[in-house]
């Protein structure tokens, strides 16, 4: 420290805009909740949160199958992330591959009976855990508010892809 004398806290970080507060709140909330649920899920069923989300989406899709691309979009993972995640689920026989007659490029991920069984077991405890954590802290109205607010954030990916082109999209 070359100029330690006036190194008082206030000088360096005075504004701290409200947007930042919200952002670090989001970070902390996610970190805390995520770690907790991940541990619980992993301990009781050997699943990560994303595994669980993916199984949920598959289970509630027509025929229990989804293209990998669509899956990626739903859980907000990269294509490669999905591939690796599904690798794991396939190894555990919770999902299987299925090919598409109409388009040879696509591989469906399809939930197996075993996957459904595990999901419904996991759902019980996990969903209850989630519900408990949130219900403990928020009223139904607050939950709605929170959900409504959070839903506005993920619209970002578009802005990411075409920074210059306005009308192009």
Partner DNA sequence: GTGAGATACTTGAGGGAGCAATCAGACTCG
Partner DNA sequence: CGAGTCTGATTGCTCCCTCAAGTATCTCAC
- Binding residues for DNA, rule: CB under 7 A, are 31, 35, 39, 48, 50-51, 67-69, 76-88, 97, 103-108
Token pair 């970070």: residue:
27
C-alpha–C-alpha distance, residues 157 and 167, integer Å: 16
CB of 77 to DNA, least distance (A): 4
Task: Please state the closest distance from residue 5 (CB atom) to DNA, in A.
Answer: 26
CA–CA gap between residue 67 and residue 137 (Å, rounded): 36
- Name the residues that contact its own copies, by CB under 8 A: 1-2, 4, 7, 9, 12-13, 17-36, 49, 53, 56, 59-64, 75-77, 113, 116-117, 120, 127, 130-131, 133-135, 137-138, 140, 142-147, 149-157, 160
Nearer to its own copies, 93 or 137 (CB): 137
When CB distances are held under 5 to 8 angstroms depending on the partner's kind, the choice from DNA, its own copies, none that residue 139 binds is none
Between residues 57 and 68, which has the closer beta carbon with respect to DNA? 68
If the CB atoms of residues 76 and 135 are measured against DNA, the closer one turns out to be: 76
Query: With CB cut-offs between 5 and 8 Å by kind, which of DNA, its own copies, none does residue 13 bind?
Result: its own copies
User: Do residues 106 and 68 touch, judged by C-beta distance below 8 A?
Assistant: yes
The candidate with the shortest Cα–Cα distance to 125, out of 31, 33, 42, is 42
Give the strands of the sheet with 95-99, arranged side by side: 65-67, 107-111, 95-99
In which region does residue 66 sit, left (phi positive, over 0), alpha (psi from -120 to 50) or beta (all else)? beta
Which residue, 61 or 86, has its beta carbon nearer to DNA?
Answer: 86
CB of 154 to its own copies, least distance (A): 4
Virtual CA dihedral for 83, 89, 92, 95, nearest 10 degrees?
-100
Q: How far is the CB of 49 from DNA (least distance, A)?
A: 7
Q: Which two tokens stand for residue 119?
A: 């999901």
Tokens of 17: 């805009």
């Amino acid at each position: 420290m070359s100029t330690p004398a006036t190194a008082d806290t206030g000088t360096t970080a005075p504004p701290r805009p409200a947007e930042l507060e919200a952002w670090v709140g989001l970070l902390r909330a996610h970190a805390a909740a995520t770690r907790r649920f991940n541990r619980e899920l992993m301990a009781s069923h050997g699943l990560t949160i994303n595994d669980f989300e993916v199984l949920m989406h598959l289970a509630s899709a027509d025929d229990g199958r989804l293209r990998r691309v669509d899956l990626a979009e739903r859980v907000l993972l990269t294509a490669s992330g999905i591939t690796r995640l599904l690798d794991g689920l396939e190894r555990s026989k919770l999902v299987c591959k299925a090919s598409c007659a109409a388009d040879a490029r696509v591989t469906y991920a399809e939930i197996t009976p075993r996957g459904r069984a595990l999901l419904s077991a996991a759902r019980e405890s996990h969903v209850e855990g989630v519900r408990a954590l949130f219900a403990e802290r928020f009223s139904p109205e607050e939950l709605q508010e929170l959900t409504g607010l959070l839903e506005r954030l993920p619209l970002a990916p578009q802005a990411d892809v075409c920074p210059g082109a306005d009308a192009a999209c």
